[in-house]
Structure 1
Amino acid sequence: MAQDRDMELIKEALGKYLTRKEELTSLLDSEAMKIEDQLSFQAMKIQDQLPFHTMKIQAQLSFDAMKIHDQL
């Protein structure tokens, strides 16, 4: 009798554990997807800004080169 009751308690505890594990896994997956979306958006923003910054750097290098050339 006591052994049957213990088995039922173990089954109940295991069921609760598995349910909670599934809930937490789902929550983690959801948070991971949010983070992936944020990172993807930030990467696109950076990629969109690269041509502008590249042109800005090239212009500065050209200006510096002209200054050095004039000093020679």
Structure 2
Amino acid sequence: MGTTILVGILALVAGVALGFFIARKTMMNYLKKNPPINEQMIRMMMMQMGMTPSQKKINQMMKAMNNQFK
């Protein structure tokens, strides 16, 4: 009786840990393939703020965001 409960608890802990790491890896791969913001979004955001976006500034912002995700 006692070993059955112990095995059940160990299986539950192992399942939660394994599920967490699999979900984390899957989410990281998804974000790498589909970044949450792209150049068009940055360009529109800068224009809404009244700035004239240059390609150099957009590239700097994209590089900063990519470095943040790594």
Q: Where on the TM-score scale, by shorter chain, does this alignment land: which range?
A: 0.5 to 0.7
Secondary structure, in 3 states, of the residue corresponding to 2:35? helix
Matched, 1:26 2:12: no
Tell me how many residue pairs correspond in the alignment: 49
The Cα of 1:63 is off from its aligned counterpart by: 2.3
User: Of 39, 44, 67, which residue of structure 2 is paired with 1:63?
Assistant: 44
The Cα of 1:41 is off from its aligned counterpart by: 1.1
Percentage identity across paired residues of the two chains: 6
C-alpha RMSD of the superposition: 2.0
Higher relative contact order (CA 8 A, sep 6+): 2
TM-score by length of 1: 0.52
Cα deviation 1:39-59 (Å, max 9, x = unaligned): 1111011111223224xx243
List runs of 5+ in structure 1 lacking aligned partners.
1-19
List runs of 5+ in structure 2 lacking aligned partners.
53-70
Larger Rg: 1
